[in-house]
Amino acid sequence: MEHIRRYSRHPPTNIQGLVPIKGYLYHEKQIYAPPETRLQVLQTAHDIPAAGHGGIKKTINTVQRYFWWPSVKKDVAAFVLSCPICARNKQPRARPAGLLQPLALPQHPWKDLSMDFIVDLPPSRQHTTIFVVVDRCTKMAHFIPAIATLFIREIFRLHGIPHSIVSDRGSQFTSRFWSQMCRSLKISRYLSSAFHPQSNGQTERTNQTLEQYLRCYTTHLQDDWLDILPLAEFAYNNQVHSSTRLSPFYANYGYHPDILPDIPLNTPVPEVANRLRPLRLQLRTLRHQLQQAQDTQKRYADRNRRPAPRYAPRDKVLLSTAHLRLDCPSKKLGPRFIGPFQVLKMVNPVAAHLTLSSSYRIHPVFHVSLLKPWRDNPFPGRHADPITPVSVSGEEEYEVSRILDSRLRYGKLEYLVHWKGYGPEDRSWEPGTNIHAPAKVRAFHHRYPSKPSVRRTRGSRLGGGSCHAPIRGLPPAHTAMLGEVPYSPEVPRCSEFRVRRMERKSQETPHAASWIQAL
């Protein structure tokens, strides 16, 4: 308070109503804070542990209990909004940003598709996954047990090559083989932005309907879903869809399938020409009804959303950690946002491409609902606590498929990783501290016990000396299982891996190309 008293010796001439009392200048019942002292007042009322990083209204209330100056509310608002601690750790209470951006209406049946997988089902004749494909025009769906070969076998043979495919960013849809197939067949791919499955909402909703059907008809052991999957597909396609007001079967073929064969229908068999005319009219009606349904969905969705901030290249934003795996003891006490990151470009009005470090291993395009504008500090001399670095281990695309080899490089343990959904040419050596797949590491050392590990010393094969490089991805209970076992001659050497990598690359890539040419 002494510095306030010191600066109060010379009252400002442009402010009326200040009364000197005991060395301070008072405005009614509050002490006037000269400009030189306001930053310290704001930091005391907001930053210290006793203040608790309150919001704008609470901080204004705290400041105005004791102090006053003409722009106190404006300065408090600017101070709180630019606080980096609040920006990273407070959950926003506003409606999610970004109005609904509907996809373009399809022009013809089975030319614009959406796809997804239902995974982790109980085994049914060794199948644990269902491949769900939905026509965006007629809403007809196929439920296929078991990506590329399935698509050709079950979709292409029935409906031909589509123009576009909407899917999430699962490794099946981001693999090199799938990308090469779509490129060769000139199929446009539309992948959802990171952690925003609403982009593929149609298939997500179909998945829910299918799961509901299976829950109703599977046995207690849940191992017979493969047998009832064809019936589930028929039931789905024979029911009226809320968007088209037609059943997918009727929208595709122009008639309803019989499910009660004993009831005769008084409908004559139409001639070909007479049947084509209503099909063309039906397609126009279908697109009109789809447009109406899309407008209704947008109207209802936008009730709970707000327009997105207008981001431009070089703008700074914070990224939500809601869908990221943070390397901290408890995510509940972890930061709600990380950053700031720079916007590289806007992919569309509601999706931003951020400049991320390659260490994040997540797709850099995010929906605006996961972003928050970063505000630079407008207060010179403001004390900023050092930001605790946050390590993110998001594995949306780059999931470890298996560990192929290990080595000691400059005294540090490294693993040769085969990434899930990628070919041999994308394998990479990664530090042991970066591998957060303890089961995969344990399986590798169980098969190749003589390879360098947390407890393995350098043998004759790797040269003299020893190194105990810790694997931080392994808990102590797991590292204790990695004991000393004699060297197995079947372990391939690093040079052999490079040879095999070249051989596999020469074998797999031509196979995909020749497979596509066979179409």
Helix axes 38-46, 56-64, angle to 10 degrees: 120
For residue 394, the model assigns a pLDDT of 45
pLDDT tens column, 14-63 = 787 788 887 788 888 888 888 888 898 999 898 888 888 888 999 999 89
Alpha-carbon distance 518 to 73, whole Å?
71
Instruction: Give the helix/strand (H/E) hosting 493.
Output: none
Least confident of 232-236, 281-285, 355-359, 382-386: 382-386
Q: How many CA atoms lie within 13 A of 79 on its CB side?
A: 31
CA-wise closest residue to 481 among 432, 435, 443:
443
Alpha-carbon distance 146 to 166, whole Å?
19
CA-wise closest residue to 191 among 53, 416, 367:
367
Neighbour count for residue 188 (Cβ, 10 Å): 12
Neighbour count for residue 376 (Cβ, 10 Å): 8
For residue 108, the model assigns a pLDDT of 81
Beta-bridge partner residues of 320? 337
pTM: 0.47
Instruction: Give the helix/strand (H/E) hosting 189.
Output: strand 188-191
Helix axes 72-81, 38-46, angle to 10 degrees: 60
Q: What domains can be seen in the chain, in order of their start residue?
A: 2-81 (1.10.340.70), 112-259+270-299 (3.30.420.10), 316-373 (2.30.30), 400-514 (2.40.50.40)
Q: Are 398 and 361 in contact (CB under 8 A)?
A: yes
pLDDT tens column, 108-147 = 888 888 888 787 788 888 787 888 888 888 888 888 886 5
